[in-house]
A and B are shown apart, each in its own frame.
Chain A
Amino acid sequence: MGLLSKKDSKLILDPLADNNPITIQVLGICSALAITAQLKASIVMSISVLFVLGVGNVVISLIRNIIPSKIRIIVQLTVVAALVIIVDLVLKAFAYELSKELSVFVGLIITNCIIMGRFEAFALGNGPWRSFLDGIGNAAGYGVILIIVGFFRELLGSGTLMGVKVLGDPIEKTGLYAFGYENNGFMLLSPMALIVVGLIIWVQRSRNKALIED
């Protein structure tokens, strides 16, 4: 990458795989369970987190030297909450349909531990540009897992992708359903998200032994 130095591009690329916030740091699991029953919701959630974490990291990094350490967690929370409310309002005003899709998820962003985690661990000690890259990288790492989980849960649970019936119609018995295939309703329940995340962790660690802890 000519645009970024090696150190900077590491900030973006690391969280995508070897230091993924979900599969390695096991952060942000709660929202990964709650909203991945549909691919579309996963994608929208990923984009929103990308925005909030990217901007939030920059804001925290800019004011990092003037935040009193006693109340820094509250300050971080306020920044996330304010950004989330702005996202929510802007969506309601200019992309009403999309904001209805998101409904509760927008609020859920505030509780995402990845965001507070990155503010605390990175933005408080680094400059705005590096913080921005770190935010984007971590949000993308989070998004990738969300989209993978959402893909499998929607495909196997509802037989659809983005709401489109890719496997045929389960009531009319067309496509795969003509051969006796059935949707696995269990995939729609939250525990299955945990199992899918677990499978991803298994695959990832068996391919890269260095990630295995003692």
Chain B
Amino acid sequence: MSTNTESNKYTLLFAIGMVVIVGSLLAFTASSLAPNIDVNKRLEKQQNILYAMGVNENEGSSATFVSTEKAPELFNQYITEQIIIQGGNITTSDEAYLVDVKKQQSNAKAGIDRKLPLFIGEKEGQKYYIAPILGKGLWDAIWAYVAMDENMVIQGAYFDHKGETPGLGANIKERFFMDDFIGEHLMENGTFKGITVSKSNADPKNIDKTDYEVDAIAGATITGDGVAAMIKSELKLYVPYFKSLNN
């Protein structure tokens, strides 16, 4: 080749050409895969919600969802109602599904009433109220689906995270941590107390369900604090709704 690959003009043209090629290649890949990714995300949400209310395929000590093929069908079967709570208004809506918790959090900061999605499910005669919540871990977002009964006693929880440290903070999505929440009370004599992820827990086997504490994961202090803060600030918002249920 006789082109001078060291000239400024060539360098500039090469850079532009490269950006165009790589950019369009990535844009093409992203847009052609987008529908698949959306479906995966929706199915995952259904699996998470079902998991929280105890519809899962747990075996041994690992957390296993219902399969993606079965998820939509089971979701329709178990989730009887989806509601959106905004201020004092409660509306039934199949759109509860699409409420973006993160966007609602920033809305709340801007002074707009938050839309709080809540999924109501029924299994073996018992009602489950499942709230999606979002908070901050050590590195990035953490979120959870918490299933409660009418008295805000936790019936099941599924935690997940975007980028917590593997083997440490990432363990919040392991059953040994999540299962500790089952049966824990959130309310103390009518006031909301939340749950602390405690390093000095006097109850490591988690027998006392009204101590408002679960055992922390060693080496994951900040992620654990994030979980506690998320539960305290987010689930608190649902208190008025649960109070109205019991009146």
Contacts and interface: CB of A to CB of B under 8 A. Distances in A.
A and B: interacting chains: yes
Interface of A: 35, 37-38, 41, 65-71, 74-75, 78-79, 82, 85-86, 89-90, 92-94, 96, 100, 103-104, 153-154, 157-158, 163, 165, 169, 171, 185, 188-189
Nearest to B139: A104
A89 B22 CA distance: 15
Q: Which secondary structure dominates where chain A touches chain B?
A: helix
Contacts of A158: 167
Given A71-B15, A154-B167, A163-B62, A89 B33 contact: yes
Given A37-B165, A103-B163, 19 more contacts: A38-B166, A41-B166, A66-B1, A66-B5, A68-B10, A70-B6, A75-B14, A78-B22, A86-B29, A89-B30, A93-B36, A94-B36, A96-B40, A104-B163, A154-B167, A157-B167, A171-B176, A185-B218, A188-B219
Contacts of B218: 185
A194 B219 CA distance: 18
Given A35-B166, A89-B33, A66 B18 contact: no
A189 B219 contact: yes
Given A82-B25, A93-B33, A71 B11 contact: yes
B160 to A, nearest CB: 8
A93 B40 contact: yes
A96 B44 contact: yes
Contact of A82 (B26, B36, B61, B165): B26
Task: Name, among A38, A165, A188, A189, the residue most crowded by chain B CB atoms within 10 Å (CB to CB).
Answer: A188
Contacts of A38: 166-167
A71 B167 CA distance: 39
A68 B16 CA distance: 12
Given A37-B168, A78-B18, A165-B61, A185 B219 contact: yes
A160 B18 CA distance: 46
Given A66-B14, A68-B10, A70-B11, A188 B167 contact: yes
A89 B44 CA distance: 16
Nearest to A153: B167
B37 interface: yes
B26 A67 contact: no
Contacts of A100: 160
B168 A67 contact: no
Interface in B1-25: 1, 3, 5-6, 10-11, 14-15, 18-19, 22, 25
B17 to A, nearest CB: 10
The size class of the interface chain B forms with chain A is 20 to 34
Given A82-B26, A163-B62, A171-B205, A68 B5 contact: yes
Interface string B46-78: 000000000000000110000000000000000
A95 to B, nearest CB: 9
A165 B176 CA distance: 12
B243 interface: no
Contacts of A189: 219
Contacts of B44: 96
What are the 6 closest A-B residue pairs judged by CB atoms, nearest first?
Answer: A37-B167, A93-B36, A93-B33, A96-B40, A68-B11, A104-B163
Nearest to A160: B61
Contacts of B22: 78-79, 82
Interface in B120-164: 139, 160, 162-163
A158 B176 CA distance: 13
Given A66-B1, A68-B14, A189-B219, A90 B33 contact: yes
Nearest to A105: B166
A92 B39 CA distance: 10
Contact of B6 (A69, A78, A103, A171): A69
Interface in B159-215: 160, 162-163, 165-168, 176, 205
Nearest to B34: A93
Contacts of B219: 185, 188-189
A4 B103 CA distance: 56
A71 B166 contact: no
Nearest to A68: B11
12 contacts: A37-B168, A38-B166, A38-B167, A66-B5, A68-B11, A68-B14, A71-B14, A71-B15, A75-B18, A89-B30, A90-B33, A189-B219
